[in-house]
Structures are given as structure tokens and as C-alpha cells.
Structure 1
Amino acid sequence: MATPLRAQNDAMTPIPTPAQPGAIELGTGPLPGARNPETWHAQYGSRFARNVTIATLTPYLPDPAKASGTAVIVAPGGGFLTLSMENEGSDVAKALAARGIAAFVLKYRLNQTPATMAEFDKSMRAMFAGVARASQSPAQSQPTPQERMAGLAPQIADSRAAFALIRQRAGEWHIDPNRVGMVGFSAGAMLTLATELSGQDARPAFLGLVYGPLAPVTVPADAPPMFVAIAADDPFFANNGFGLVESWRAARRPVEFHLYEQGGHGFGMYPKTTTSTGWFDAFVRWMDMHGWVKAAR
């Protein structure tokens, strides 16, 4: 779910699948039962992928002279139906690499959508309208993180494979395997949290959750530091409290929370007049506070 509210009426325009130099297949196999092939479209001045059936990881490596040894897996959003590959993917990765942080865009497998753009557009509008209506009511029952995780087996497998690949090639990419974190947006934030809560070998060194669900969770005793950012006018996830942040605090685990007055949903790296645009600088300052922006001594 990565639609910026400032441009809800922008049309989705089909585009040729772009060259993706440097993309590495993760080896998690084709999506079971998939019939429709991967396609791309342009919207809001950015590019989106859908019907992703083969997961890939694309590195964006910093200048070796300024590399910190820290890496971040970037998980774009899109409701597990599409991926905001630039605004929540490569644009974020390039900005991190410019700060000396190795970044890797995870193009994870998606649920299948209609083959034609007209049918897909209709289905997306209906989905967003339904989710927005449900999220407006605090009394509305929201899926628990465990319920969300149950339907994310392919995506969690892709995330685990991404961590394994980065740690396997850490020497080649000048990365400390103990300093690999993950930042996700909307559905990508769900996947980021699910990766941590799955309790397997892929666990991130730190988490960044940008306009994702905020339902309370059972926090692992050794949960990593977590950064959370959301706009108060987010129509999907800002109306049911901040249980996730409270869970982290109750477990006495490090958490930083930014609640922006305005910004809507899906602001990502789009330049806006709202203070939500400052989330990236705040995230990097938070990383610096923990010592991840500078090379380890």
C-alpha cells in the first residue's frame, strides 16, 4: 500500500519492463501457481512492478572510501500486489549509499493480480477504498501480526534469502555481517517486522518501519532497535493506536517513534511540503546515534 494521497487520481501507464542491471536472483523459486508474468507501470512519476514471480536483490554499494560496513535491505510497499520500486526502493537505496551505507533493494514475490491494466486498476481502487474504510474505525478488528505473517510465507522466504546472500558475500561487499538491518514501507514494513518476528536466522540488526501497521506484538527478548515513522493523517494505519511502539517500550527494547502531523500514506522519498519528508534524515541520524553510519573501529 504505497499510494501517495496527493495524487490518488494519477493514471497507471504500462511501460516496458526496464533493464535491471545488477539484480541477483535469490533462488527462492518461481511463485507457486503464478500464471501472469511480471509487468511494470508508471504512476506518480515513479515506476512500479507487479506480478513479481522471481525474487531479486539489487545492490547499491557506497564509495569504498566512505563505506561504513553497515548494510540495509530496502523493502518497497504496494499491498503485496505491486512494488514502488523507485520511491520506496532505488531512491532510498541511492540515498543510503551516498551516506556510506550499503543498500539492497528487495524485489520480493507478489500476490497475482489481473493481467490487464484496466482490471488491475479497478481491483486496486476497490482494495484501497475497502482498507481505508475499515481503518477509519478504531473498533474495526485488524489482523494481528501473527495473522499477517501466516500469509507471507513466500515473502519471508525471500527476505531470509536476501539476508543469507548479503552475509555470504559480506567480504566481497565490505559489509559487517552483524550490521545488516532492514527498512520497509507499508507492506514492506509488514515484511520487515515479520522477518524479525519469524525468529529465524535472518534476523535484522535493526528495523525501520515507515507507515506500516502499528498493532501490538509479542516482542522477542533480544529484539533489535526499531525506528518507526508514520503520518497522523495516514488513512490506513494511524487510527488504531500505537501498540507496536508500546510493545517495544514495555519490553525495554530501543525504539524511536516519529508521528508527523501530515504526510498521508506512501510519501517515501517524494518531495513534499510536509515535515514527513524529513523521515529519511531522521532515520540516518538515528542510525548514526547507534554507530551504524561510521565504520566500526
Structure 2
Amino acid sequence: MKASPQFARTRRSTRLGTAAGLAMTISAMLFVARPVHAQNDAMTPIPIPPQPGAIVLDTGPLPGTRAPETWHSQYGSQFARNVTIATLTPFLPDPAKATGAAVIVAPGGGFQTLSMENEGWDVARALAARGVAAFVLKYRLHPTPADMPGFERSMREMFSGVARRPPPDPHAPAASLAPQIADADAAFALVRANAAKWHVDPDKVGMVGFSAGAMLTLTTTLADRDKPAFIGIIYGPLAPVKVPDDAPPMFAALAADDPFFAHGGFGLIDSWMTAKRPVEFHLYEQGGHGFGMYRKETTSTGWFDAFAGWMKMHGWLGAVR
């Protein structure tokens, strides 16, 4: 089957050297991002919730998928699964308080689910309260079994190591994330095209991602195309990468007890510093993986205030032009 021009263009534009570094973490990213919670950890099917204002992106349906989009609750939050049509939901501040800054928010979930509430809507509402236009990206996902027992079984097999996984492909991120990268590109294009209506400065559009969403944020940033004005990498992969000369300022946060990324070194931070690009890194003693906007008794809860302060330091929270 011949690849679509959009797929081919996306794949060509991704830096292969960077893809090789990110491939070392992709198998870990396929696990569902899970916060450290002792309660409400059962996945309970729920109806698809209202998503007022969601805009369908022009990337089309995910090819070759049949399972319908489904949602479930877990950890007191809402998750989407089998997303085949990408959407972008704006959370706009009061125009009188708009700073001109905008952030595309990419939830995590191992590219198999999306933590739409904890790592999406809650983040967007907090940004809008600071005068930042926020846009939650519901990007397309790898298909999973349609029924909940089948999905839970596939997760158990993955975590137990029963499922056989091929060795990392050095081009894996470019190939396997092509739909998600296309969704991110479409999100940036939509925000910039509507900048005046949404009181956004097109030069102040950044991106923040969580876990798999952090990987998508980083891959989008390192591609040969227009880049975000700034990025937030929240408990994402920290493998070293080849940093372009025009890489944007980066904010990164991770918990030292993160089971996926806390013990692989901080090569990404070193890469940004070696390239003499602005970077701020917060390593919290506790927080686990997937803390997001959950209120926890750990200092990781302070990541959002630190991120907002970092944005203010750079002048992105100034008056709209």
C-alpha cells in the first residue's frame, strides 16, 4: 500500500538521528501512564462525555481501524481510547486578560489511551486562568481491543512481558508516530490561522506534553518545520537527542521515583545545554509517573506553578500585541 503524501512528508521531515535516540524509549512509552494511586485504579467504562467546542482536525480518520472510540474512568479521571478522529478543544481566557500566549496540550497514555482530564482539560483550565489560550489535542491512537476485558487483558500481557515485542527500530518514532505528528501539525496550523479571533500571538504558540504526549511534543519540536515557541516535557523521555540550532526554550519536569524515565540519565537536558539553548529542569523527589494535575502530598504538585513562572520569566505572559 502506497503511503499518503502527508505520511511521506511527515516521515521525511523527522530527523533520523533524533529518531534513533527516541527509539530507545518507545517500548516503555507504549505502557499506559499510571499515577501512583492506591484507590480508584479500576477501569470503568463510561459514556463519551460532552466535549463542547471540540474542532475536528483535517487529518482524516485513522486508516485500517474499526473499533469505535470509547471512554473509561480510572484514578478519578476520564480517559479516551481508540481515537480515530483527531480534535482540538480550545480553552480561552477572558479576552481582557489574554496574554497572547497559547499552549497546545498533549495528554499522555502510551499512545493507547489519552488522559483527557488530568493531563488535558485540567491543565488547559489552569492555563486559561493565567490568561493563556490552551488547546487540548485529542490525537489519534494505536488501536486496542474494543471491549474492556480484552483491553485489560492486553495491558496485563504487556506488563507481564507475555506479549512479544520486536527490537527497537531506529526509525520507529518517525514511522509509528506519523499520524500523531500530523495531528500536532494540524493543531498548530489551526491555532495560528485563528490567532486574531482567539487573541493569540502567532509567535507565542507553545506545546506541553505528558508522557507519550511529551514524546509527541519533542518529536514535533525536532522535525524540520515551524517549531513551537516553547515546550514543556512533563515526565517524558530524557534520552539525548540532536538539537537543532533554533530549538525553542524547554521546561522539563520528572519525579525521581518515576518507574519509566527516572533511571535513564538526563541526556535530553545535557543535549539542550550543550547546544546552548534555554532549558529549565525540575527533578522532584517523589511523584511517580502520571502525576499531572492530581493533588498529591508531593512537591511534584508544584510543577504547574513552576511552569507558569517560567513562562512569565520569558515574557510570554505579557500583554497581547
TM-score (normalised: structure 1)? 0.93
Supply the distance in 1 between the matched residues of 2:96 and 2:37 (Cα, whole angstroms): 39
Query: Does 2:80 correspond to 1:49?
Result: yes
Q: Please report how far the alpha carbon of residue 200 of structure 1 lies from its aligned counterpart in structure 2 after TM superposition.
A: 1.6
Structure 1 unmatched runs, 5+: 135-140
Q: Residue type of the partner of 1:124?
A: M
Alpha-carbon distance change, 270 to 143 in structure 1, aligned in 2, over 3 angstroms: farther
User: What is the letter of the counterpart of residue 47 of structure 2?
Assistant: P
The one of 220, 227, 230 aligned to 2:244: 220
Alignment of 1:111-260 (within 5 A): 111-128=142-159, 130=161, 147-201=172-226, 203-260=227-284
TM-superposed deviation, 1:151: 1.3
In the alignment, the residues of structure 1 paired with residue 36 and residue 169 of structure 2 have an alpha-carbon distance, to the nearest angstrom, of: 23
Aligned partner of 1:95 in structure 2 is: 126
Shift, 1:198, TM fit: 1.5
For 1:199, give the aligned amino acid.
D
Other-structure match for 1:75: 106
Distance in 2 (CA, whole Å) between partners of 1:259 and 1:110 is 29
Q: How many angstroms does 1:143 deviate by?
A: 7.3
The residue aligned with 2:8 is none
RMSD: 1.8
Q: Deviations over 1:68-90 (max 9, x none)?
A: 00000000000000000000000
Q: Distance in 1 between matches of 2:159 and 2:231?
A: 26
1:58 equivalent among 89, 92, 114: 89
Q: Deviations over 1:221-269 (max 9, x none)?
A: 0100000000000000111100000000000000000000000000000
Once the two structures are TM-superposed, the CA of residue 9 in structure 1 deviates from its matched residue by 7.1
Q: Secondary structure at the match of 2:179?
A: helix
Of 298, 309, 321, the residue aligned with 1:274 is 298
Runs (5+) with no aligned partner, structure 2: 1-31
The reply on whether 1:283 has 2:314 as its aligned counterpart is: no
The change in CA–CA distance for 1:5 and 1:172 in structure 2 (over 3 A counts) is: same
TM-score by length of 2: 0.86
Deviation at 1:149, TM superposition (A): 3.2
The offset of 1:148, in angstroms, is: 2.4
Q: How many aligned residue pairs are there?
A: 287
CA distance in 1, matches of 2:65, 2:200: 35
User: 1:122: Cα distance to partner?
Assistant: 2.0
Cα contact 2:40–2:76 (8 A) shared by 1: no
Residue 8 of structure 1, CA deviation: 7.7
Deviation by residue 1:97-120 (Cα, 9 ceiling, x = unmatched): 000000000000000000110111
| Local SS of the residue matching 1:5 | coil
Deviates most, 121-130 or 156-165: 121-130
Structure 1 residue aligned with 2:29: none
What secondary structure sits across from 2:244 in the alignment? Answer: coil
Q: Give SS of 1:236's match.
A: coil
Segment of structure 1 superposing worse, 286-295 or 78-87: 286-295
Contact 2:98 2:320 in 1 (8 A): no
The code of the aligned residue for 1:241 comes to: G
